[in-house]
């Protein structure tokens, strides 16, 4: 057997063998944490504030359920009336892992049931009666969420092996759980908001839509190894709170100058690969874009939640890219540069979609088509300096291009698509017409639009990411803390305030920055 293949089999065996062991270890640790936290006098059983439903779902044997329960208890510490809701409807293709996670979640919540209401989805009939004014969850929405979950699971749009089987499985599972969710929400009116993990994965998208149909605000949480994303009313990974924060600071012109300055400094760090994510290559090679200017297509990772479900014109990311390149080759003399997301050079973030192969299959080795791989030493900003038009999905590069005065066309419903500095299409005819007009020089950005792009960039990149040790990844660290210590942590306080008071965390952080600046300068 090939040595590399053997190592792969050994690694898979290790993960399958030790994954449940690690899970049980963490579950027991969390139970000890809850036992300590319950003895804290400042942790009320039933608060007098907002009534909130905190959703807890098995999440691939990750620590996400412990993080969700901790968020619920921190909200209770703030005074919220917390109900824990366990979605125990089977999801995914690993029955063993799901049951193991669910068993541990129930054990943990049993420690809290004397003080907090705990609801379980299995306690509600799937034929439960919903209010007459509410339609049943549409089959089209079930199909859409199943498709997004399949893209996530398959790590892209194009891999066919196993796709149909998985999609049919999760379609049936989502179809089964949706009426139960509707029944639970109908039988328990009065939630002012729900706190939901993700917003796409598993049934979280179903909870989000059915709650919103009832006028219930839905806050979501997502995370990386050292940071947390929060949306107080939408999907956190898609930065859906940024437009509200953007509108607020536009009404505070005195604070915009400092915001732009901080955004410019962050953009400079990002360009040099010295920002918090370090995606860009510091040393760059040149890239010829041709005499007629070029179109740059900066890709998202197609399976990332930040990009899922946001196409307004095309069905998939690969369709969008191929059709855009084909139009450019047939109708212009411009080159097209497709830039793979630099983060895909990290194995854990890579997709299974091979855009380079797809471009070659469609266009051969066409001299006007250039694919820049994730690991390429070409810096995206070196490309931005040279190209004429940028065509973005939800990539941050779309905002950065606008700060440089570049024309940005999008066929997506990103958080920045309607903020006035990019040109957003809602049909293919409009999309290709916008591309033609942009290449002909018929579009331009004025100073106010460029300034708006800088403000959006500041909120998204300087304010919306909350860097903290309070993440699912850092579970051992915060599980060892007292809940009062955790509650007083500056980052945690911003997260809990944002969720409970329905204020975008980017706006909270911006206003704190402004206050600190005023205190420092004495103004």
Give the dihedral of Cα atoms 195, 483, 467, 475; nearest 10 deg. -90
Residue 299: DSSP 8-state? P
In the block, tokens 């209010």 appear at 131
115: its two tokens: 């003080």
CB contact at 8 A, 56 and 84: yes
pLDDT for residue 272: 74
Using DSSP's 3-state secondary structure scheme, residue 7 falls into helix
pLDDT for residue 291: 43
Per-residue model confidence as pLDDT tens digits over 11-50: 444 455 568 999 999 999 999 999 999 999 888 776 788 9
pLDDT for residue 7: 35
Per-residue model confidence as pLDDT tens digits over 353-398: 999 999 999 999 999 999 999 988 888 888 998 999 999 999 999 9
Residue 137: DSSP 8-state? P
Per-residue model confidence as pLDDT tens digits over 306-343: 999 999 999 999 999 999 999 999 999 999 999 999 88
Enumerate residue ranges in the chain where pLDDT < 70: 1-18, 46, 128-133, 273-275, 277-292, 518-523
pLDDT for residue 513: 87
pLDDT for residue 46: 67
303 CB-near residues (< 8 Å, 6+ apart): 151, 152, 154, 155, 156, 351, 352
pLDDT for residue 288: 61
What domains are there in the chain, each with its CATH number? 3-241+469-511 (no CATH), 251-463 (3.40.50.2000)
CB contact at 8 A, 193 and 501: no
- What is this structure's pTM? 0.92
Using DSSP's 3-state secondary structure scheme, residue 375 falls into coil
pLDDT for residue 8: 42
257 CB-near residues (< 8 Å, 6+ apart): none
pLDDT for residue 94: 95
């Amino acid at each position: 057997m090939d040595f590399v293949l053997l190592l792969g089999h050994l690694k898979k065996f290790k993960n399958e063998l030790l994954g449940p062991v690690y899970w049980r270890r963490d579950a027991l640790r969390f139970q000890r944490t809850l036992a300590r936290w319950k003895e804290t006098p400042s942790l009320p059983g039933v608060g007098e504030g907002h009534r909130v439903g905190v959703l807890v779902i098995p999440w691939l044997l990750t620590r996400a359920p412990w993080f969700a329960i901790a968020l619920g208890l921190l909200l209770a510490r703030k005074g919220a009336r917390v109900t824990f809701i366990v979605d125990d409807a089977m999801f995914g293709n690993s029955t063993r892992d799901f049951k193991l996670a669910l068993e541990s979640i129930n054990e943990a919540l049993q420690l809290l049931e004397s003080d907090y209401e705990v609801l379980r989805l299995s306690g509600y009939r799937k034929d439960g009666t919903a209010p007459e004014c509410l339609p049943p969850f549409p089959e089209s929405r079930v199909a859409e969420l199943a498709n997004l979950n399949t893209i996530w699971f398959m790590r892209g749009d194009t891999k066919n092996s196993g796709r149909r089987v998985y999609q049919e499985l999760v379609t049936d599972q989502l179809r089964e759980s949706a009426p139960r969710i509707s029944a639970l929400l109908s039988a328990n009116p009065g939630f002012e908001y729900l706190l939901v993990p993700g917003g796409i994965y598993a049934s979280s998208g179903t909870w989000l839509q059915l709650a919103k149909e009832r006028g219930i605000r839905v806050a979501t949480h997502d995370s990386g190894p050292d940071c947390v994303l929060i949306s107080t009313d939408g999907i956190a990974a898609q930065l859906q709170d940024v437009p509200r924060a953007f509108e607020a600071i536009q009404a505070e012109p005195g604070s915009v100058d400092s915001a732009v300055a901080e955004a410019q400094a962050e953009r400079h760090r990002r360009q040099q690969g010295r920002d918090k994510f370090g995606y860009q290559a510091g040393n760059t090679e040149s890239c010829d874009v041709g005499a007629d200017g070029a179109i740059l297509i900066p890709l998202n990772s197609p399976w990332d939640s930040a990009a899922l479900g946001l196409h307004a014109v095309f069905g998939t990311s690969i369709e969008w890219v191929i059709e855009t390149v084909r139009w450019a080759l047939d109708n212009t003399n411009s080159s097209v540069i497709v830039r793979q997301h630099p983060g895909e050079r990290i194995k854990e973030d890579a997709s299974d979609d091979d855009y380079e192969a797809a471009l070659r299959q469609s266009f051969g080795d066409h001299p006007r088509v250039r694919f820049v791989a994730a690991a390429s030493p070409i810096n995206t900003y070196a490309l931005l300096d040279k190209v004429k038009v940028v065509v973005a999905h939800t990539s941050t590069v779309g905002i950065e291009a606008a700060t440089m005065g570049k024309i940005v066309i999008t066929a997506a419903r990103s958080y920045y698509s309607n903020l006035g500095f990019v040109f957003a299409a809602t049909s293919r005819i409009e999309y290709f017409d916008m591309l033609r007009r942009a290449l002909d020089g018929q579009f331009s950005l004025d100073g106010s639009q460029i300034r708006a792009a800088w403000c959006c960039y500041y909120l998204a990149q300087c304010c919306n990411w909350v860097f903290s040790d309070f993440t699912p990844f850092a579970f051992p660290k915060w599980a060892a803390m007292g809940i009062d210590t955790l509650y007083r942590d500056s980052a945690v306080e911003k997260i809990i305030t944002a969720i409970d008071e329905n204020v975008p965390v980017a706006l909270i952080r911006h206003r704190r920055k402004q206050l600190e600046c005023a205190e420092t300068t004495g103004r």
